[in-house]
Structure 1
Amino acid sequence: MSTRRGFLKSGGLALFGIGVGGVPTFIARAANSQKIVGPYKKNKILICIFQRGAMDGLMAVTPFTDEYLKAARPTLFMTAAKGDNNGQLIDLDGRFGLHPSLGAFEPLFREKRLAIVHGIGSPNNTRSHFDAQDYMESGTPFNKGTGSGWLNRAVGLLGHDASPFRAVSLTSSMPRSFYGDNPSVAISNLQDFTIQMRGNPIGTNVAAKSFEDLYDQTSSALLNKTGKESFDAIKMLQKADVKNYKPANNVIYPASALGNSLKQIAQLIKMDVGLEVAFAESGGWDTHFNQGAVTGIFSRNVLDLSTSITAFWNDLEAYQDDVTVMTMTEFGRTVKQNGTGGTDHGRGSCNFILGNDVNGGMVHGLVNPLAKENLEDGRDLAVTTDFRSVFSEVADKHLRINNDTILFPDWSGKKIGVMS
């Protein structure tokens, strides 16, 4: 009994879109036999978006007065000067300019709802995508053996009863950030899903029949506490008209993976199923060649990022006070462009934080003149802000978590004032 209950409590649920089918019949029967109580208590919600591949922060938010950068990027550099043939950045403060394809962010920045942190990154100087992502998602940049992710630890520190949809990742597999003992859910598609176990590698691909065997043996236990909550949440999801969801304010989400993920997160928020931490991904940021300036690969990526996040924000309406959105990327790109019109793996980048409790309308962090003597390893934007100082501040202030020792072990740095 204790083993099975432990599976339910720490294993959580992973809901993966399969295109056909749906909830196994034994789950549906159990869910339908239970009366759903009222909505879960309204809590603060943190949305994290991982830009996989390493975003060029110097192109997203350009220190356009820096002559060293201009010399290092003859075909990639853009200015904020009107009518300039190299493209016009959106002047934020006389020094930093927003890429024109990030224009959807400008009103949010002017309204002081959007903050930017520049020179952010990991203290570990690896330029391996896999290692850097692992370190950032585990929150322990010098320890590969950490079993849990920082968002899973954050969930464990929330300190109140939770719904099984407290922590949700809109991805096809569980992200490293959610690894750990606290229940979490991975959903690739709300319209068509099945249930699988999540947890250790042995349980990852357990068939529904195995779950049904557990159910048959311990049906009374499953309908108590964690089990009953799970069925209640599944019933909520089944009853929702997900397919015909209509965003507020006539919002149209981009027809992209990120746009679709954020649209589904908005639906979960409005369903009041107890969501508190959500995770989504944006890919394609590894711009080694043909990066482009005003147009091109990078421009398309940042357009999707900004319009997806802005659509999500506008869709939330009355929920905006309860939601903060934070982006992250494993590292930045080299200051100097390479011979194929791209940028290689670097160090510092920037991230975006959106919310009504954000100290917005500012570019936080330190970016020194990009002379060679100021560059990390003589080639990269230096990491002047440890990602943990930002992630911990956002979690502490927004989710009201105040235990950095557990959230980010081996770190005792200072916050930078990105939250109000």
Structure 2
Amino acid sequence: MITRRGFIKAGGLALFGIGMGGIPAFLAEAVAGTKPLGLFNRKKILVCIFQRGAMDGLMAVTPFTDEYLKAARPNLFMTAAKGGKSTPLIDLDGRFGLHPSMAAFEPVFREKRMGIVHGIGSPNNTRSHFDAQDYMESGTPFKKGTDSGWLNRAVGLLGHDGSTPFQGVSLTSSLPRSFYGDHPAVAISNLQDFNIQMRGNVKGANMAAKSFEDLYDQTSSELLKDTGKESFEAIKMLQKTDTRNYKPSDNAIYPNTALGKSLKQIAQLIKMNVGMEIAFAESGGWDTHFNQGTDTGIFARNVNDLSNSIMAFWTDMGTLQDDVTIMTMTEFGRTVKQNGTGGTDHGRASCNFILGNGVMGGLVHGNVQPMAVENLEDGRDLAVTTDFRSVFSEVADRHLSLHDDNVLFPGWDGHKIGVMR
């Protein structure tokens, strides 16, 4: 039996929109008598984007002077030299070149508001998508079965317990591993249809609307009198907002893609000031075993979507840019050598992008050795020289003022690398 206290503590509230009609009628009635939720004090916001499938960091940000890499990728290697058959890389510093389909990133890199970390990855050498994603999202790369995700622990360290159900928000159909845990987090697949699922741990997960209605009938007065009240008030706030006709800031043009739509809705929630401090979105399609392409093809389309979506969001933030930092992550990289089908296979290190006014930008951070066989991990992969926890913890520390690394990443005692000011 799920008690009212356990139900609330678990954050196990599941709300499902009924067609185009918005939230279920019994919930609309429940919030009808509550007073509107006041604006929250403006807080710093971290937006994390998980690139699922393992991005080829060596193609996104290429060490184009490396002759070993050139020999290993006769059909995939790209150069910054002009006049060739393909569009050249964007020369960042004389050694690393940004993929031309990520040209949207160049201005903020030159303005020193975007930093890139190369050679980043997990100390666990698994090349399984499922395991590597699990380790990265739990933040415990050598421990399976960790109950919580690192972003859920971050929510706990932020405090403000019960002040808003939107403190941690994922623009996904279900809650990602990063947000598993005891602290409330909400997964919103689509603001327009109010397809909302709140979840803290397995006990409260994926409850059907009917199950919640049954529980609501038994405990509605107590729910509305106690911490559940904030949830209903927040629903009322969303219900009264014209989510369908959101107008981004001038010059902010979001791609009509899953990632573009997710970041557009995150921007909307930020401007609604519902108390969100951590947001999560996903980008798929990075498992490029076949026909990866160079300046055109699957990879080029993916990085174009990633960069254009992020820059539309950044432009949309306008005067709120000081409050926001965006960080990408991917479970591992790709092999140094191309395979026989014009792609790359599961590797080890990749790179990530961090955008914000507090970032030590204009630099490619990390340690990437020449790709001679003796420098490669297992003789085939770009070695992981920066533990992802070094970067994630530093961003959380400097941007969100979360200083307890032992809670955020249990068992880790490494050093930060200076990617934040």
- TM above 0.5, yes or no, is yes
Deviation, 1:258, is: 0.2
1:222 aligned residue: 223
Aligned-partner SS, 1:47: strand
CA 1:20–1:334 in structure 2 vs 1: closer, same or farther (change >3 Å)?
A: same
1:325 aligned residue: 326
| Whole-angstrom CA distance in 2 between matches of 1:226 and 1:211 | 16
CA 1:43–1:224 in structure 2 vs 1: closer, same or farther (change >3 Å)?
A: farther
Deviation, 1:17, is: 6.1
Deviation, 1:117, is: 0.2
| Whole-angstrom CA distance in 2 between matches of 1:268 and 1:12 | 21
| Whole-angstrom CA distance in 2 between matches of 1:242 and 1:103 | 31
1:408 aligned residue: 409
| Whole-angstrom CA distance in 1 between matches of 2:104 and 2:224 | 46
1:289 aligned residue: 290
2:191 aligned residue: 190
CA 1:392–1:206 in structure 2 vs 1: closer, same or farther (change >3 Å)?
A: same
1:152 aligned residue: 152
The amino acid across from 1:76 in the alignment is L
Aligned-partner SS, 2:216: helix
Deviation, 1:37, is: 3.5
The amino acid across from 2:290 in the alignment is F
Deviation, 1:363, is: 0.3
1:345 aligned residue: 346
CA 1:193–1:159 in structure 2 vs 1: closer, same or farther (change >3 Å)?
A: closer
Aligned-partner SS, 2:308: helix
Deviation, 1:197, is: 5.8
CA 1:107–1:16 in structure 2 vs 1: closer, same or farther (change >3 Å)?
A: farther
User: C-alpha deviations, 1:212-253, integer Å up to 9, x for none?
Assistant: 232222223212342111111101111111111110014210
Matches within 5 A, 1:107-146: 107-146=107-146
CA 1:195–1:285 in structure 2 vs 1: closer, same or farther (change >3 Å)?
A: closer
Deviation, 1:390, is: 0.3
Deviation, 1:194, is: 4.4
1:279 aligned residue: 280
Aligned pair 1:363/2:361, yes or no?
A: no
Aligned pair 1:266/2:267, yes or no?
A: yes
CA 1:353–1:165 in structure 2 vs 1: closer, same or farther (change >3 Å)?
A: same
Aligned-partner SS, 2:281: strand
1:23 aligned residue: 23
2:214 aligned residue: 213
Aligned-partner SS, 2:182: coil
Deviation, 1:293, is: 0.3
Structure 1: stretches of 5+ with no match in the other structure: none
Deviation, 1:389, is: 0.4
Larger mean CA deviation between 399-408 and 13-22 belongs to: 13-22
| Whole-angstrom CA distance in 2 between matches of 1:389 and 1:358 | 14
Deviation, 1:145, is: 1.6
1:171 aligned residue: 172
Deviation, 1:195, is: 5.1
Deviation, 1:22, is: 2.5
CA 1:13–1:274 in structure 2 vs 1: closer, same or farther (change >3 Å)?
A: farther
Would you say the 8 A contact 1:17–1:191 is kept in 2? no
Deviation, 1:196, is: 4.9
Would you say the 8 A contact 2:12–2:201 is kept in 1? no
TM-score, structure 1 as length reference: 0.97
Deviation, 1:199, is: 4.5
The amino acid across from 1:214 in the alignment is L
How high is the sequence identity, in percent, across the aligned residues?
78
| Whole-angstrom CA distance in 2 between matches of 1:359 and 1:134 | 28
Would you say the 8 A contact 1:62–1:99 is kept in 2? yes
1:354 aligned residue: 355
| Whole-angstrom CA distance in 2 between matches of 1:342 and 1:18 | 43
CA 1:378–1:14 in structure 2 vs 1: closer, same or farther (change >3 Å)?
A: farther
Count of equivalent residues: 420
